Amino acid sequence: QKYAEMNYDDDVFKYIVQFNDEYCIDAFAKGISFALNFKEQAERFMNKKYDDILQEIKAIHKACNGKILKVIIETCLLTEEEKIKMCEIVTESGAEFIKTSTGFSTSGAKFEDVALMKKYVGKDVKIKPAGGISSFEDAEKFVELGADRLGTSRLVKIIKG
């Protein structure tokens, strides 16, 4: 069973399940943030099975039926070469967003990752850094580097005081 990350932004808190090789998406979702199984992803990278990753994301994107798909690549677990390859794969898959992190791994968004993504994703793929964005200065820098949307709950808490 594969599943999407629990995602609180954009009122999207939905899931995907795989059943008989068909992906089903909650009909009320505006979109989904999908985190690949990172153990499987590491094995696929080691064995250079990039097409397996691409086909999985394409299947999910097709099942989205016009809804937004954000692919979380968990940059903190990837080498620079793997990050570049994931930018290429996400672009080719047709997904609307590439996202740095779930916010639950060893690290969140980093400036250098957003700059790298901006350089390597296609023009139709939006970038969403997430996890660890804790100041307005950082938020501005991420936007300057190419972020289209930010995944942060800390700034909301700062605004609300």
Per-residue pLDDT tens over the stretch 47-73:
888 999 999 899 889 888 888 999 999
Burial class (CB in 10 A: 0-12, 13-18, 19+), 73: buried
Cα separation, 50 vs 71, whole angstroms: 15
Average pLDDT over residues 34-39: 79
pTM exceeds cut of 0.75: yes
Under 8 Å between Cβ of 89 and 117? no
